[in-house]
Homo-oligomer: A and B are copies of this chain.
Amino acid sequence: MARLVSSLGSFCQLNAFGCLALCYLLLIFLGGVVFMAVEKPLEKELRAEVEELRRSFLQENPCIQESRLRELLGKALAAHSSDVAVLNADAEEKRYDFTSSLYFVIVTLTTIGSDSYTPKSDEAKLFCIFYCTVGIPLTLFLLTLLSSLLLRVITHAPVHVLHYYWGLSHTRAALVHISLLLPLVLSLLFLLPALLVCAVESDWSYLDALFFCFVILSTVGQGGNSLGRSWSPKAKETLELLTTCYLLVGLVVIITLKDTVLQVPQFCAVMRLFSGPQYSELEGIHLNELALSEDNPEDDPQYCQSICTISSTPLELQSPCSDLHSGRTLSLETY
């Protein structure tokens, strides 16, 4: 029986990466199928509507040359892609004022991207390439540094309290902490801002607002829905500034949450299980680490305020590399 468990264990270790890769391919395939099924009818409807409107327009106005209408439509569409207000082009709407440019800069540096604020001139494109090459890594670096400060407050301190005053082991303290922190922070980060967005954009449903918050903070991109399209330029500026603040604060919180999750030993063990045979050999995965028990006091890490370091190297040579992208200020040390 023990041999069976052991051979099953080594089978899992060897094949976990392959299984994960396979699951991922299935996930992609499933995603493709679902989006195709759900969106196709809607698209068909929209196209039929446009076509119908164009036909009836041409019938009602027989004096119009179809080629001339196409020209107007083409130009209007091109301008609309650039977020130029076509329907009231005579209105005094400013696009590249300073607040909007600032918004564009932040949206670009955080890799969200925006179709409406994309550079059109050659100079702007060239500048954008150089600017992003410097700015994107710098943004990530600064956000990570800020998140490491936040990590002290929202992760290390509570886990410390749970450990010393509640008498929980560190593993259990980390688990209790994350199971309380995750729902709380995610509601503050998504559900509450979505309510505010709903209040601001009266014709958006709550789901629309939630989706907007989600695509902003996941840096996927706005999907054509920008806040305040129908607003006055002044109010739109304020909205853009607020969105920028929300975005930056949200990203710092999300990086901190990621690091909090990565400090739960069970989660680490799962990650390692999937990291492929070349790691398993070196790391010696123990499947019993995955259990939520505290049977292995030697596996129970102690949280402390030191830096994540690399093997036996002196402290000053190691930490920044491992620290840079995980922003960890926590080291796992055995008792």
State the 8 A-B residue pairs at the shortest beta-carbon distance, nearest first.
Answer: A113-B221, A118-B223, A115-B115, A272-B320, A31-B105, A36-B101, A51-B89, A32-B101
8 A Cβ contacts from A57-111 to B: 57, 60-64, 68-82, 84-87, 89-90, 95-98, 100-102, 104-106, 108-109, 111
Q: Are B49 and A120 in contact (CB under 8 A)?
A: no
8 A Cβ contacts from A34-48 to B: 34-36, 38-40, 42-43, 46-48
Residue A334 at the B interface, CB < 8 A? yes
Q: Are B111 and A141 in contact (CB under 8 A)?
A: no
Residue A271 at the B interface, CB < 8 A? yes
Residue A157 at the B interface, CB < 8 A? no
Residue A310 at the B interface, CB < 8 A? yes
A175: which B residues are within 8 A, CB to CB?
none
* Interface residue range, chain A: 35 or more
Known: A115-B221, A135-B31, A309-B310. A76 touches B73 (CB 8 A): yes
Q: Which of B48, B102, B141, B286 contacts A32, CB < 8 Å? A: B102
Known: A36-B101, A218-B132. A145 touches B322 (CB 8 A): no
Assembled-state Cα–Cα distance A39/B331 (Å): 48
8 A Cβ contacts from A1-50 to B: 17, 20-21, 24, 27-29, 31-36, 38-40, 42-43, 46-50
A128: which B residues are within 8 A, CB to CB?
211, 214
